[in-house]
Amino acid sequence: MRLERLPGIHHDSACIVVSGTESTVIVDSGTSWYQTNLIERLAPHLEGRAPVEAILLTHRHFDTCAAAPHLGEHFDAKIKIHENAVAPLAGGDLFTTWASRYDSDMPHIDAEGFCEGEKVDLGDITLEILHTPGHTIDACCFHILGKGAIICGDLIPSAGHPSRADMPTGNIVEMKSSLERLLKLSPSLLVCGRGEAISGLDACRNVLKQHIESVELRIDREGKLPMGWPKPAETCHWLTPEPAWSFDQ
């Protein structure tokens, strides 16, 4: 298995490349603003790998998936997302994809739907779809079976920045259940949607517990931010704790 994470530019989510002996998948694409640049950035990371078979999307947001049609055409690869997001992406939905908040058009994306428990075989490794709603109704993580690794999307934007659940189709109670589900899987690697990956059993456990506690606090406050936390910009998909979280990793 080979896994590499390319940090996003500006508003873009990270782009993750996962390769097995038979095929490669690209997870998330970022906005359409830097899609040509992204192809150039991906090129050296794909040398010597199995061919790209699919673009897998963690959720429907513009900053996560808008470049998927460009990648799909370039690599002649299928685009796949949770079945709940297929129709909104096909229709170029501006509202629930949050594209309107970026003053951008949402490209029409012809995607195939997957669902909870489906598996993606890459040869020597297999990815399992985990439906983990909360940030959006269609949000999913990808569990690399037998490797203790989970690609999280914006369920965990970064170790120190919890995810928002107050966007269209978001649900704070479902987010808590999704985070608890990851904790039960005891991962040793969490590949975040924004920040650096979290490595090690203890580090992953500590980060997940902290994120769960922050969700519980927001539930107790009926969705309101904890005292002192700044209100995020509309185009920001994560929250900034105050004071900043620190972890013994």
Q: Where are the domains of the chain?
A: 2-156+188-199
Closest residue by Cα to residue 27 from 42, 47, 49, 11: 42
Q: What is the pTM of this model?
A: 0.96
59, burial (CB in 10 Å: exposed 0-12, middle 13-18, buried 19+): buried
Give residue 247's pLDDT.
Answer: 84
| Identity of the amino acid at 166 | D
Which residues of the chain, if any, have pLDDT below 70?
248-249
Q: Which two tokens stand for residue 63?
A: 């900053």
Give residue 248's pLDDT.
Answer: 62
Give residue 178's pLDDT.
Answer: 98
Cα–Cα distance for residue pair 108/88, rounded to 1 Å: 9
Domain 2-156+188-199 adopts which CATH fold?
A: Metallo-beta-lactamase; Chain A (3.60.15)
Residue 198: helix, strand or coil by DSSP? strand
